[in-house]
């Protein structure tokens, strides 16, 4: 018994290495286990002469049943000491400790749920996507839906990082979007969003659309790139730019991609006026939900001419079009048929499924 008590004391001491919640839960469980064994031994000592068939295992089982108030009745006390001393103490102490443990766990769960709603918990998911800033509920819904419509991100967790919300809107909760409350330019906030394990970061423009919006996005992009370099992690980062005049500023942050929304609406309005219905064409091209999409494909077909690739595409049953080539910073749409593919080039494809072109590339590579 002395050895057992020393072991229990050692286990209690080890709990100091854990946080407060883990300590309390572990201590309560250890105490319940300890009392269960103690009462089992005491019950056996008091009852085994009156009940010759009683074993120590039966006594420990009796202690469990009594402490949890289940009361199967398969084992019971018959002696005055077993009934009025050991059983009384076992019941009262068991009810109290187990009640405390259940209450504490319930309180802890409710506190955690509250923290999750208010964005105060840390993200433990991996391979998730981080959305910085809050341009409004509808835009977040659109972005999340588009991302989940892409096969590679359909099962990815989405984490919104912003200091503009006190609690995540109900619609976003229903969409399983997670929330971190904090300034996205703060490293600590991004680490709470588990940025080192994410698939990428999308920096959205704020609601006001002012100069300060791009400045804030620039600051977030710089912080993400610094984290990327410091920890030698490849973090794909795309930023939404409000004003065209801030493009050079944003390029200095070394983000992977930028989307300029300055003037898009007005230019699309003119195109729709000139060619009614073209808006629907672009909507389909830019959406993951329906039809074909644009793909950028880092090809291995070095030395091949555009006409060779187009000829192979025509033979394939899949619906694919090669509509351009990216050479360094230059984007060439409808390239000359005699143009050769060089190392580092990317093809601009219009296709329903990128895997179809991968098969075409394998076929050409083998020739």
The pLDDT value recorded for residue 5 is 47
The pLDDT value recorded for residue 1 is 43
DSSP at 61: H
Domain ranges of the chain: 2-117, 129-260, 292-365
The pLDDT value recorded for residue 61 is 93
Q: Give the up-direction half-sphere exposure of residue 302: CA atoms within 13 A in the CB hemisphere.
A: 6
Domain range 292-365, its CATH number among 3.30.70.1450, 3.30.465.10, 1.10.760.10, 1.10.3720.10: 3.30.70.1450
DSSP at 17: G
The pLDDT value recorded for residue 211 is 65
d(CA 48, CA 21): 40
The pLDDT value recorded for residue 247 is 83
pTM of the model as a whole: 0.64
The domain 129-260 having CATH identifier 3.40.50.720: the answer here is yes
The pLDDT value recorded for residue 20 is 59
The pLDDT value recorded for residue 22 is 67
Burial class (CB in 10 A: 0-12, 13-18, 19+), 277: exposed
Say which residue the tokens 């020739």 belong to.
367
**What are the helix (H) ranges across 118-246?**
137-149, 170-174, 187-192, 211-230
The pLDDT value recorded for residue 110 is 80
The pLDDT value recorded for residue 14 is 43
Picking from 146, 150, 182, 149, the residue whose alpha carbon sits closest to that of residue 163 is 182
Q: Give the up-direction half-sphere exposure of residue 240: CA atoms within 13 A in the CB hemisphere.
A: 20
CATH architecture of the region 2-117: Orthogonal Bundle (1.10)
The pLDDT value recorded for residue 23 is 72
Residues in the chain, pLDDT under 70: 1-22, 208-211, 262-267, 269-270, 273, 290, 366-367
């Amino acid at each position: 018994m002395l050895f057992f008590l020393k072991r229990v004391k050692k286990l209690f001491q080890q709990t100091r290495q854990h946080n407060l919640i883990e300590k309390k839960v572990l201590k309560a469980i250890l105490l319940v286990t300890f009392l269960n064994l103690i009462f089992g031994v005491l019950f056996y000592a008091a009852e085994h002469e009156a009940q010759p068939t009683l074993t120590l295992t039966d006594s420990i089982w009796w202690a469990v049943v009594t402490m949890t108030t289940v009361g199967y009745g398969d084992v019971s006390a018959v002696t005055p000491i077993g009934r009025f001393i050991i059983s009384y103490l076992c019941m009262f102490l068991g009810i109290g400790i187990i009640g405390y443990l259940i209450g504490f766990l319930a309180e802890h769960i409710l506190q955690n749920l509250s923290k999750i709603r208010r964005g105060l918990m840390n993200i433990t998911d991996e391979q998730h996507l981080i959305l910085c800033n809050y341009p409004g509920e509808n835009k977040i819904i659109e972005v999340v839906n588009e991302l989940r419509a892409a096969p590679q991100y359909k099962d990815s967790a989405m984490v919104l990082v912003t200091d503009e919300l006190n609690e995540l809107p109900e619609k976003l909760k229903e969409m399983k979007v997670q929330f971190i409350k904090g300034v996205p330019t703060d490293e600590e906030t991004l680490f709470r969003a588990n940025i080192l394990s994410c698939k990428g970061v999308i920096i959205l423009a704020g609601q006001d659309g002012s100069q300060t919006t791009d400045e804030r996005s620039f600051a977030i992009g710089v912080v993400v790139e610094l984290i990327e370099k410091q920890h030698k992690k490849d973090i794909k980062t795309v930023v939404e730019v409000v004003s065209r005049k801030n493009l050079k500023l944003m390029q200095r942050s070394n983000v992977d991609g930028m989307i300029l929304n300055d003037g898009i609406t007005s230019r699309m309005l003119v195109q729709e006026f000139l060619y009614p219905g073209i808006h629907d064409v672009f909507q389909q091209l830019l959406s993951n939900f329906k039809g074909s999409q644009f793909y950028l494909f880092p090809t291995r077909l070095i030395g091949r001419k555009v006409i060779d690739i187009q000829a192979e595409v025509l033979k394939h049953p899949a619906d694919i079009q090669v509509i351009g080539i990216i050479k360094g910073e230059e984007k060439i749409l409808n390239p000359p048929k005699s143009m050769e593919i060089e190392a580092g080039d990317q093809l601009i494809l219009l296709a329903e499924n990128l895997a179809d072109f991968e098969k075409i590339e394998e076929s050409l590579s083998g020739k």
